Structure 1
Amino acid sequence: MNAILNRKSIRKFKDIKISDEIVEELLRAGMAAPSAGNEQPWEFIVLRDKEIMKKITEVHPYSKMLLNADVAIVVCGDEEKEVYKGYWVQDCAAATENILIEVEDKGLGAVWLGVYPMEDRVEAIKHLFNLPPSVIPLSIIPVGYPDEQRKPVDRFNKTRIHYDRW
């Protein structure tokens, strides 16, 4: 529960390299996510190239923190891997959240940049990475060692809980 409750969005990063082993552990966490019918439609693009990250900032209006991130992970769904149409979104969202929780557990920082369903962002990212027609980018996760102190937000709200009926 600590990693879940302490997770927060970090947008400023120190200039420290993240090891390939840690990146693989983040991806392992993403792939441990639940998946409808066990279809596992996810695909991941690991970014370290600063020029590519800079190009993303030109097409995604909320992505400037990529310029300081050591690594970023683009989470995509492949519609050709779908067993149940449309569930790629939930599966890839669960993978994204798992990565964010593992980031927190490792003492790193990250933020979820939404791509899908914003069509302009989807098309720009598809073009930038030359994605196959069946592959749709859901999110981009800039990751680094935090260079800002943020407190987690307690979002628990009893008024949002309903028992047995509305």
Structure 2
Amino acid sequence: MRNFSDKEVSDEVIKEIIRAGTYAPTAVNKQPWRFVVIKNKQLIEEYDKRAKKAFLAAYKDTENPELSKFVQFLSKPATRIFYEAPVLILLFASPDVINEHDCSLAAENMMLAAQSLGIGSCWIGLAEGLGYDMEFLKEVGVPEGHKLIAPLIFGYPAKQNLKAPARNADVILKWIN
């Protein structure tokens, strides 16, 4: 989901989405996920710009054609990687994490829960650079040693009844009975 309405997402709904994330499977029940919730539109806009800047600095000289497309996309001043979403939730792994995949599972649970509540979401991988911005981490109150795993945006869809894109049916490598 990359096109959101102006409708506010209530704190109660956000807490429900996060609660769903905390029910993800976790190695030895470590529950390593920690969340930062940002609803301030001005801050989301500022962090959008900072994330773009970090990505461009990291990949400006890339020779990878796929990454070059992202560099071109992000070089446009009008590009917004958080798509003006009303909610940004940053999912971090705590320092004692055994398996960072636990946090990815929590993110997926959150996205599925949001969908069931009529809320759209998107995992913004282009924002991973914020996890290396020490000033940003300090600003949002993330203790040392935590790692940004999933920058997620949430909001009510601008359009209703959107269908999922078609999926490739030929994905099974081998079926062994």
Question: Could you say which TM-score interval applies, normalised by the shorter chain?
Answer: 0.7 to 0.9
8 Å contact 1:65–1:142 — kept in the other structure?
Answer: no
Q: Which residue of 1 aligns with 2:114?
A: 103
Aligned CA RMSD, in angstroms, stands at 2.4
The amino acid of 1:16's aligned partner reads K
Q: CA deviation at 1:164?
A: 4.1
Q: TM-score, normalised by structure 1?
A: 0.78
Q: Which has the larger radius of gyration?
A: 2
- Aligned with 2:38 (options 23, 28, 47): 47
Q: Structure 1's 157 and 74: CA in aligned 2 closer, same or farther, altered over 3 A?
A: same
Q: Structure 1's 159 and 99: CA in aligned 2 closer, same or farther, altered over 3 A?
A: closer
Partner SS, residue 111 of structure 1: strand
> What are structure 1's unaligned runs of at least 5 residues?
1-9
Stretches (4+) displaced over 3 A: none
Deviations, residues 93-116 of structure 1 (Å, cap 9, x unaligned): 001100110111111111001268
- Aligned with 2:157 (options 146, 151, 155): 146
Question: Whole-Å Cα distance in 2 between the matches of residues 159 and 66 of structure 1?
Answer: 30
- Aligned with 2:18 (options 13, 16, 27): 27
Deviations, residues 114-157 of structure 1 (Å, cap 9, x unaligned): 268x5x44212535525222111111111111014642024353
Identity %: 26
Question: Whole-Å Cα distance in 2 between the matches of residues 95 and 123 of structure 1?
Answer: 21
Count of residues in correspondence between the two structures: 149
